Chain A
Amino acid sequence: MVEKDMQKTENVSATERIRNVKTFVPRVDIFENKDSLFLVADMPGVDEETVDIELEKNVLTITGRVENGRIKDATMMYSEYEIGDYERVFTLSDEIDREKIVATVKNGVLRLELPKAEKVKPKKIAIQAA
């Protein structure tokens, strides 16, 4: 079996583009702690200029543009991946504090911090002695 972890998944449902390149679904990790939800996406080839995060109503769209950088006058000996843009759509719940979303890109990895809204954070209620 081919190491499937290396394969990029093509995003067949991506919105139509003017750019004539393939679109891939970036691999993501999503996890939470008590204050925030985190989304980490592997998008090799993108930087802070070429990544776009859009939040419309509660739909979060991540797109990344990758310039091809084709090497001229060379023959392919082997190719294990294709170069293309990235796109993935997530639906957020209302529990995210939209104003405080923080996004960073480093070494081709996008990291989004989505802070939970105050009202949904668990609160411990102190019990008073009667």
Chain B
Amino acid sequence: MKIRNLLPALHKPAGRDDDHTFYSLQHQMNSLFDDFFTGLGVAPRSLAPGGFGAFMPAIDVKESDKDFTIRAELPGVEEKDIEVTVTHDTVTIKGEKKEAKEDKGKNYYYMERSYGSFNRLIPLGVEADANKTEANFKNGVLNISIPKSTSAKAKGTKVPIKSS
């Protein structure tokens, strides 16, 4: 991660004015937070594998009483290249964004999009009902709905306190 900061040419897609003071401040703030969270093992995305400019999907996770909804932006990924796995309290989204073969080796003017395989692990905190999980993929957006298991849905029992 640090190496990237030393090589600005590598992390700058063409056409973006990241040299702006505000962005560099933002950078520093981001890395501050990342370094902090990394130690706790909860960094959501800084530990992304794949190295420079590899594709890593952005995800949104929402929770309701009954279920979780995970949404991920996967533009240009084929349905067959996505794999969603649910273990008792974790969801894994795995896949690969492939560069179209006929596009390889051409003369590029802009190259802002990224490719590569990705793997994101989303801890849910409570037990999920893996059998009732549904996923659909439309227009480059993946939607996963994961119902909570019955035991997870059960709220804690209120214990009456007796006065002695």
Q: Which residues on A are within 8 Å of B, measured CB to CB?
A: 1-9, 27-33, 38, 40-47, 71, 73-81, 105, 107-109
Contact = CB atoms under 8 A, between A and B. Distances in A.
Interface size class of B (residues with CB under 8 A): 35 or more
Contacts of A75: 62-64
Nearest to B48: A3
Contact of A2 (B45, B62, B78): B45
B74 A28 contact: no
A75 B69 CA distance: 10
Contacts of A40: 103, 113
Contacts of A108: 73-76, 139-141
Given A1-B1, A42-B75, 15 more contacts: A1-B4, A1-B11, A1-B31, A2-B30, A5-B54, A5-B55, A5-B56, A28-B113, A32-B109, A33-B107, A71-B62, A75-B63, A76-B60, A77-B61, A109-B75
Contacts, number: 140
Contact of A45 (B77, B109, B113, B140): B140
A9 B16 contact: yes
B64 A31 contact: no
B104 to A, nearest CB: 10
Contacts of B139: 44-47, 105, 107-108
Nearest to B31: A1
B93 interface: no
Contacts of A43: 75, 140
B89 to A, nearest CB: 13
Nearest to B142: A44
Given A45-B139, A45-B141, A76-B60, A29 B73 contact: no
A74 B53 contact: no
Contact of B27 (A1, A44, A79): A1
A73 B77 CA distance: 30
Interface in B102-117: 103, 106-114
Contact of B113 (A2, A27, A77): A27
11 contacts: A1-B5, A1-B30, A1-B46, A3-B46, A28-B113, A29-B103, A31-B109, A33-B107, A74-B69, A79-B61, A107-B137
Contacts of B137: 107
A6 B56 contact: yes
Given A5-B114, A42-B75, A77 B63 contact: yes
A80 B45 contact: yes
B81 to A, nearest CB: 10
Contacts of B58: 6-8, 80-81
